[in-house]
Amino acid sequence: MKILGIGLSGLVGSRIEELLKDKYQFEDLSLTTGVDITDSEKTLSLVTSSNASLVLHLAAKTDVNGCEEDKKEDIKILGYKDIGKQEEEFKIKKTAWAVNVLGTKNIVEACIKSGKKLIYISTDFVFDGKKEKPYIEKDSPNPVNWYGRTKYEGEKLVAKSNLPWMILRIAYPYRANFPRRDFVRVLIDKLENREKLKLVTDHIMTPTFVDDLSTVLDKIIESDLTGVFHAVGSQFVSPLEAGVIISNFFDFDKNLLQQTTREEFFKNRALRPFNLALKNDKIQKLGIKMKTFEEGLGEIKKQLT
**pLDDT digit string, tens, across residues 249-276:** 999 999 999 999 999 999 999 999 999 9
pLDDT of residue 305: 78
The angle at the Cα of 101, spanning 207 to 227, to the nearest 5 degrees, equals 55
Q: In sequence order, what are the residues at sequence separation of 6 or more whose Cβ sits closer than 8 angstroms to the Cβ of residue 81?
A: none
Model pLDDT for residues 113-169, shown as the tens digit of each residue: 999 999 999 999 999 999 999 999 999 999 999 999 999 999 999 999 999 999 999
Residue 104 pLDDT exceeds 90: yes
- Domain count for the chain: 1
- 137/266 Cα distance (integer angstroms): 28
Rounded Cα gap, residues 267 and 246, in angstroms:
26
Instruction: Please say if the pLDDT value at position 283 is more than 90.
Output: yes
Beta-carbon contacts of residue 285 (< 8 Å; ≥ 6 apart): none
**Residues 208, 210, 212, 213, CA torsion sign:** positive
- Residue 181: give the domain boundaries: 2-304
Half-sphere exposure (Cβ direction) of 222: Cα atoms closer than 13 Å: 9
**Neighbouring residues of 212: CB distance < 8 A, sequence distance ≥ 6:** 231, 233, 288, 290, 291, 296
Which of the four pLDDT bands, split at 50, 70 and 90, describes residue 33?
confident
| pLDDT score for 31 | 85
**Which amino acid is present at 246?**
I
CA gap 8, 11 in Å, rounded? 8
Q: What is the pTM of this model?
A: 0.96
Look at residue 6 and tell me whether its pLDDT is greater than 90.
yes
Q: Specify the CATH number for the domain of residue 123.
A: 3.40.50.720
Q: Distance between CA 127 and CA 80 in Å, rounded?
A: 28
